[in-house]
Amino acid sequence: DLLRSWLAGFADRADLLRWCHEATVATLGQLSPEWHRDRLMSLSELSTLVVDDRERRRWVDEDALLDRERAREWRLAVASTDLIPACQTALRRIRWSAVEYTSDHDDDDPAYVDVDDQDEPAMRPGLGETAERQRWVVDRGLEGFDSRDEIVERWIPVAIHASFAELDESLSSAFWSEQPLRAMFVDRDDQAAQFYRESFLAVEFLPAFNRAIEQLADRSGEAVSGGETTDHSPVRY
């Protein structure tokens, strides 16, 4: 799914940002934060990654746009040189690093694990729970908020939890005290505010989430998901 989405292209920059987070999880952090930032902050690359014509024209002049076939060839080249190797490195990193157990075993074959029944990244529920919290943080950040209270009381605490406290410690006070920053997140849905929120999440949140995923990937001895339903809703503070 990750590769197919990349090759198909994205509806807009927010769609690409969400994909970058999913790629962080799927590759266990093997695509660097700088890699994601370059994709999200380069206007020429945005025009190649986003397939909606109206969105593409936001980033570069009409005469500088690649045609659709050449744009897809570029995405295929990047997938070949960056994305697929990152997935392979992630697999190599975890293949012998953990002692995994499953509650859904086969009595005739105790070593059997039904891969189709595993719905967590790398078959680790902890990764799945953290990824779900991170998705919530990204989605809420893109949407914006009704008040600064919602940011400080709810969003930032969940983000800290989802990042294993890797976020900058000054973020909560910045959202409370810095009006220009807060203005981009509270009660605004214009293009300028949306672009700012996307950029802020790319620069401040994705790197912290990447470090959290890398830390979790290094853990061992976690039980494999056996198909149980897990409540992934953000922790209430």
Residue 219 makes CB contacts below 8 A (sequence gap 6+) with 98, 124, 126
Q: pLDDT tens-digit profile of 42-98?
A: 988 999 999 998 888 888 888 888 889 999 999 999 999 999 999 999 988 877 555
Q: What are phi and psi of 4, to 5 degrees?
A: -60, -40
Token duo for residue 12: 């807009």
pTM: 0.81
Q: pLDDT tens-digit profile of 2-41?
A: 999 999 999 999 999 999 999 999 999 999 999 999 999 9
- Helix H or strand E segment including 101: strand 101-102
Which of 162, 170, 157 minimizes the C-alpha distance to 210? 162
Query: Tokens 């206007």 label which residue?
Result: 43
Token duo for residue 123: 């078959």
